[in-house]
Amino acid sequence: MKKISMWMRLPPMNWFGLVAGALMLLLPFLGPWWSATVGTGAIDLAMSPFDYRISLLEQPITSTLIEYFLLAAKLSVMIGGALMIAGSVGPKRWWGRRLVRFGAMRVFWMIIGLIGFLLVGALVMNIILPGLMSGMLEGGSMQINVPYVEGATTSTIQVDAVTITAPITASLTEIFWVAVLVAALGVAARIYHRRFMKPVKHVKPK
Amino acid sequence: MGERVLGLGLKLLGIALFIGPFIAAFAAHNWDIQAAVIPSQAEMDEVNERVSGLVVEEGFSEDPFTLGTPKFSNNTVSVTVEFTSPLKIPIKITDLSASISGQGWQGAQVQMEEAEVDVPANGTANFTLVGPYSGTPPTNPEPTDVNITFELYGVTLQVQMGAG
């Protein structure tokens, strides 16, 4: 008698999509992906595509528009995750591919967006801001070094007889690497889903 | 047909999730774009209050310092210092140095004896400056060229206060 493995007996599913979808439902609640500090609480930043915390001298600063945007991002990933689970459970159904595609690349693009935002932010702080501020510091100098995504730097501002030195540290959190895993699973789910699609027959017109 | 409708529905959902936050945020602030984008006045007032706590209106002069008369013994000069913080937040003095000079005397450099001194908001701290000297001490020694380094919220400020 031919043995049928447990794996073979399971209904066809997009396993990558199932795991990615489940993690996408959790990801918005896990915490910030990146954090930075100037001094010890002079400025604190923590952000992810779903949440942000900015505090200046321990006083939090918020913006309604950003909060709503991040709420939409949270909803978008959770809906994407739920639809991806649905699409992965019924991969051969006509709606399977559409649902998987809706959620598969969401976290991937969020990672790209966050890294891009951090790089542009550091670039503006390091290169553009000193140029803009140079006119304001008569006889003074400004040397701003903001880490590109991760690292520890020191920025110095000197005006007359006063020199201000601020250590800046920035780092990606463990949650960021969870997000990278979710993004990789999402991409894998999208690729893996192709095996459930019927091959398209190309008929030559007579 | 069904797939096309689903595709259109998902596209509309994506668009709604992009446009929705704009509409919701502006509607929450009676379509006042500025109020929706920038932090609330209460938050900004709180930040201003904290920043103003760092600013000393009359400048960071030597007024906060009361330097005692230098004492000379065993080739060491010591000066007691009373520092009254003009800042509304606690600070940590990590370094303070000065020159002690006097007529017909080559002078001496003194430095903080303590590694660091914590000063509470608008509070007072006492510490001692010490340093070696040689020669005969002057009759009217005066501290000059005071340099102070202090730390607030982990940010270091170094102030050179010139001749005293």
> Where do the structural domains in chain A lie, given as residue ranges?
13-116+169-195
Give the burial class of B147: count Cβ atoms within 10 A of its Cβ; 0-12 exposed, 13-18 middle, 19 or more buried.
middle
In the CATH scheme, what is the code of domain A13-116+169-195? Answer: 1.20.140
The answer to whether residue B163 scores a pLDDT higher than 60 is no
ipTM of the predicted assembly exceeds 0.90: no
The shortest CB-CB distance from A76 to any of B17, B155, B156 is to B17
Question: Are B147 and B72 contained in the same domain?
Answer: yes
Q: Measure in Å the smallest separation between the Cα of A27 and chain B Cα atoms.
A: 18
Alpha carbon distance A48, B146 (integer Å):
46
Mind listing the pLDDT tens digit for each residue in B17-61?
888 888 888 888 888 888 888 888 888 888 887 777 666 555 555
**Closest residue in A to B14 (Cα–Cα):** A76
Question: Are B81 and B132 contained in the same domain?
Answer: yes
Alpha carbon distance B84, A88 (integer Å):
68
Question: Are B21 and B93 contained in the same domain?
Answer: no
Q: What's the rounded mean pLDDT across residues B96-118?
A: 85
Contacts of A193 (CB under 8 A, 6+ apart): A14, A17, A87, A88, A91, A96, A97, A100, A101, A104
Residue B10 maps to a domain: yes
Find where tokens 């390091």 sit.
A126
The answer to whether residue B68 scores a pLDDT higher than 90 is no
Among A54, A66, A68, most B C-beta atoms within 10 A, so best to mutate, is A68
Question: Are B81 and B125 contained in the same domain?
Answer: yes
Mind listing the pLDDT tens digit for each residue in A6-49?
666 777 889 999 999 999 999 999 999 999 999 998 999 999 99
Alpha carbon distance A95, A153 (integer Å):
50
Question: Are B81 and B33 contained in the same domain?
Answer: no
Question: Are B31 and B69 contained in the same domain?
Answer: no
Share of chain A above pLDDT 90, in %: 61
Q: Return the structure tokens found at B134.
A: 């040689």
| Residue numbers in A near B2 (CB within 8 A) | 94-95
Beta bridge partners of B105: B102
Residue B89's pLDDT is: 83
Contact at 8 Å (CB) between A65 and B25? yes
Tell which residue, B120, B16, B40, B164, has the closest CA to residue A79: B16
Mind listing the pLDDT tens digit for each residue in A74-97?
999 999 999 999 999 988 888 888
Amino acid at A133: M
| Residue numbers in B near A64 (CB within 8 A) | 25, 28-29, 35-37
Question: Are B28 and B91 contained in the same domain?
Answer: no
Beta bridge partners of B67: B81
Find where tokens 């500090």 sit.
A37
Residue A202's pLDDT is: 63
Contacts of B62 (CB under 8 A, 6+ apart): B146, B161, B164
Contacts of A155 (CB under 8 A, 6+ apart): A143, A144, A145, A146, A165, A166, A168
Find where tokens 């952000």 sit.
A47
Contacts of B85 (CB under 8 A, 6+ apart): B64, B91, B119, B120, B121, B122, B123, B124, B125
User: What is the SS3 assignment for A38?
Assistant: strand
Question: Are B145 and B105 contained in the same domain?
Answer: yes
Contact at 8 Å (CB) between B79 and B129? yes
What CATH number corresponds to the domain at position B131? 2.60.40
Asked whether the beta carbons of residue A56 and residue B28 sit closer than 8 angstroms, the reply is: no
Into how many domains does chain B fold? 2
User: What is the SS3 assignment for B138?
Assistant: coil
| Residue numbers in B near A163 (CB within 8 A) | 157-159
Tell which residue, A13, A22, A14, A29, has the closest CA to residue A81: A22
Asked whether the beta carbons of residue A166 and residue B38 sit closer than 8 angstroms, the reply is: no
Residue B57 maps to a domain: no
Tell which residue, B99, B80, B81, B84, has the closest CA to residue B141: B99
Asked whether the beta carbons of residue B24 and residue A68 sit closer than 8 angstroms, the reply is: yes
What is the span of the domain harbouring residue B95? 65-160
Question: Are B30 and B109 contained in the same domain?
Answer: no
Amino acid at A144: I
Q: Strands B65-67, B71-73: parallel, antiparallel or unpaired by DSSP?
A: unpaired
Q: Does A5 reach chain B within 8 Å, measured CB to CB?
A: no
Among B153, B156, B161, most A C-beta atoms within 10 A, so best to mutate, is B153
Question: Are B96 and B138 contained in the same domain?
Answer: yes
**Closest residue in B to A66 (Cα–Cα):** B37
The answer to whether residue A154 scores a pLDDT higher than 70 is yes
Asked whether the beta carbons of residue B21 and residue A65 sit closer than 8 angstroms, the reply is: yes
Most confident of B54-58, B64-68, B111-115: B111-115
A163 against A9, higher pLDDT: A163
